[in-house]
Amino acid sequence: MAMLEPVHPLTPKSWYLPSKPHKFCPGCGHGIVLKALGENIDELGIQDKTIFGCDIGCSLLAWNFFACDSTQTHHGRTTPVMVGIKRSRPELITVGYMGDGGGYSIGSQHLLNAAVRNEKVTLILVNNTNYGMTGGQMAPTTLPGQKTETSPYGRDPEQTGYPTKGPEFIAQLTPDSAYVARATVSKYNQLKRFIRNALRNQIEGNGFSFVEVLSTCPTNWRTNAQQTWRFLEDEMEPYFPVGELKSPFGKGDK
C-alpha cells in the first residue's frame, strides 16, 4: 500500500509564507480575494513580473502577502502609482489593490481618469460598505439606512446620496477593450474567473481592467458569522448586482 502523503492546506505558490497567518480579522473577506488572486498569479505564471500595489486601508495588511514585488502607496493613490509603473515598464503586470473608500472616495478622480485613458492596469477594489481600517466610518458604498461611526443614525440618502455603483460608472467611461466586473466572496469560482480575466486583459495589452469584489467586514459590521453572510448575500448582493459588465472575452457572465 502506498504511503499516505502528508496533507498541506492548499496554498498558492505566490503567497509569501513568512507573512502567514495573515493579519485580517476572523471572517474578513480580504483573505478570500487574495487567495483567488494568488491562484491566478500561479496559473498564469506571472509571479516574477507582477507588481502588487496596495492602498492605505485594510488592503494595506496585504503588503507582504505575496511573494511578488510590491509597494505601499497612499490612501487613494494606488491607481496613479500603478499607472506610473505600467507606463514606464509595460512588460510588468501591475495589480492595484484598494478599498471602496480608497477607490470611490478619495481616489475617485484617479479611478475615473485612468478608466477614461484606458490605462492598461488591473485594479481590484474590495467593497465592504465601510472604512474598515479607520474603525468603521461611512463609505461611498454604505447602504441606505446602514449605521456606521459617521452615520450613527443610519445613512440617509437625502443627505449623503445613494451608494456608489463603481463598475456601472466605469463601464460607461471605458472602450470595449476594457474589462469591468463585480464579483463577491460568496461565489469563489466566479470571483477567481473574473480576476483571471482582469489579469489576462492586461497581459494581452487590451486595456483597463477593473473588478469590484463584495466582501465582508464582521469587525465593523459587528456581526456574527451567520449575520455576516446574511448581510453579504441578502443586503449587498441585491443592491450591487454581480457579473461582468464589459469583457473583451465574449459575452459577459451575469
**Contacts to Mg ion by CB under 5 A:** 99-100, 128, 132
Q: Nearer Cβ to ligand SF4, position 30 or 182? A: 30
Q: Nearer Cβ to ligand SF4, position 128 or 247? A: 128
- Among residues 16, 19, 25, 203, the one that binds another protein under rule CB under 8 A: 25
CB of 97 to ligand TPP, least distance (A): 9
Size of the site for another protein (CB under 8 A): 27
Alpha carbon 196 to chain centroid, angstroms:
13
∠ Cα 228 229 233 (to 5°)? 125
Size of the site for ligand TPP (CB under 6 A): 17
Query: Is residue 55 within 8 Å of residue 101, measured between CB atoms?
Result: no
Q: Which residues contact 104 (CB under 8 A, 6 or more apart)?
A: 111, 125, 139, 140, 141, 164, 166
Place of cell 478619495: 106
Alpha carbon 61 to chain centroid, angstroms:
13
Query: Is residue 104 within 8 Å of residue 141, measured between CB atoms?
Result: yes
- Nearest residue to 211 via CA among 121, 105, 82: 121
Hey, which residues does 235 pair with through a beta bridge? none
- Among residues 80, 132, 167, 207, the one that binds ligand SF4 under rule CB under 6 A: 132
Q: Of these partners, Mg ion, another protein, ligand SF4, none, which one is at the site of residue 218 (CB under 5 to 8 Å by kind)?
A: ligand SF4
Q: How far is CA 93 from CA 9, 76, 131, 199, in A?
A: 27, 20, 28, 8
* Alpha carbons 156 and 159: distance in angstroms, whole number: 6
Identify residues 58-97 at the interface with ligand TPP (CB under 6 A): 58-59, 75
* 153 lines the binding site for another protein (CB under 8 A): yes
CB of 23 to another protein, least distance (A): 4
CB of 69 to ligand TPP, least distance (A): 22
Q: Nearer Cβ to ligand TPP, position 32 or 139? A: 139
Binding range to ligand SF4, per CB under 6 A, among 67-75, 84-92, 128-136, 147-155: 128-136
Interface positions with another protein (CB under 8 A): 23-25, 56, 61, 72, 74-76, 101, 105-106, 108, 131, 134-135, 137-138, 140, 149-153, 159-160, 219
